[in-house]
Amino acid sequence: MGRILLLSNGHGEDLSGSLLGSVLRTLGHEVTALPLAGLGRPYSQATIPLLGSSHEFSTGGIGYTSLQGRLTELIQGQLLYLLRRLLRLLRHAHRFDLIVVVGDVIPVIAAWLTRRPVATYLVAYSSHYEGQLRLPWPCGPMLSGKNFQAIFSRDQLTADDLSNQLARPVQFLGNPFMDPVLPPTSLLTNTQPRIGLLPGSRRPELEANLQLLLRLSDQLPDNIGISLELALVSSLDDTGLERCANGVGWQLRDGLLQRQGSPAVRVRRGAFQAVLQQSDLVISMAGTAAEQAVGLAKPVLQLAGQGPQFTASFAEAQRRLLGPTVFCAPGDSGSQDNLFASAQLALKLLKRIHHDLDFQKQCRTEAQRRLGSSGGGLRMASAIGGLCPSTAP
């Protein structure tokens, strides 16, 4: 079996890499990971060894951040950190039969520098953004090189587009990050409407996002039987959560966030997948979790924040990526007009997803079109395993 190095550069990419790596190990391969940004927690949770130690930055990695976020990266030394990771990669690349890129141009360049065989999962790019994907230089010429032995896309539109652009096959086999969640169902069975609240996972942005979500919840009536569930990372303990909630007039009691005149919010830590599966609608300030929600045929209501990650520009790009079942109310981020409009839109979407059969069908269609079916991890891992020298025909 082959010795494989996973190369990724962000929280969502690390999650996809860890899921792909877990399947590769079940197929008998030796798997190591090198996250280029962040601690690579998904790899540790999957017991996939890391190539050296790692460090986390407040922006969550090199990627789609605001100008303030990019300046923060510079101040925190993230670019210097990246250079050290690249040097580590170059020193150890000879140990591996295959490098698997999960991400965008940064790990593509890094893998190209090693001159080792490479398989690439371009999870960060999609032709749904603009209709035709414009790969950043020098990503295109590198992907056309002989050492890049296989390219996988995140949707069929991108696979077709890049196959034409690169004059080589690009495959869409599904997305590993959809495997942990259930496939979409044709009928909703919840007796009480449920809204999942997704504030994201990056701190300190998480706290600001959570306060916005609670302020939005203030705009919802407390007497119409709506269940609100907050998907929260375990790194924000009760003390921090209570401090955050108190800042906008909410109290934490027995696992519930409460405010007089507003529906209670149930706190669920480490349960993103369960919240997604059980919700009729999600109100999201997250990246990968919103994609999973669309893949589960759930409508998504965005609430743009102040960043550095989930800004209005990020939300707009996410709507282009995920399609017409992702919604965003008008108004400036955090304004009373935006929060009120978001609450009204949430009630309207809840009604549609329960009673509008055409809307339910549209959600299922977009789930397949944008994310594909479950089982992508196994299909991709099988194709990657065939590239290793010891298993190649």
Residue 35, beta-bridge partner list: 8
Residue 206, beta-bridge partner list: none
> pTM, whole model, 2 decimals?
0.89
- Geometric angle at alpha carbon 12, from 364 and 71, rounded to 5°: 130
The structure tokens listed for 81 are 């950190």
Q: Quickly state the pLDDT bin for 77 (edges 50, 70, 90).
A: low
The mean of the pLDDT values for the chain is 90
DSSP secondary structure letters along 195-229: EEEE--S-TTHHHHHHHHHHHHHTTS-SSS--EEE
Closest Cα to residue 102, out of 31, 181, 168? 31
pLDDT per residue over 48-73, tens digit each? 999 976 555 444 444 444 445 444 54
d(CA 49, CA 38) in angstroms, rounded, equals: 15
Residues in Cβ contact with 353 at an 8 Å cutoff, skipping those fewer than 6 apart? 188, 280, 281, 298, 299, 359, 360, 363
d(CA 280, CA 328) in angstroms, rounded, equals: 17
Closest Cα to residue 219, out of 283, 138, 315? 283
- Geometric angle at alpha carbon 98, from 10 and 96, rounded to 5°: 100
pLDDT per residue over 228-276, tens digit each? 999 998 889 999 999 999 999 999 999 999 999 999 999 999 888 899 9
Domains and CATH numbers, the chain: 3-179+374-385 (3.40.50.2000), 194-370 (3.40.50.2000)
Alpha carbon 338 to its chain centroid, in Å, reads 24
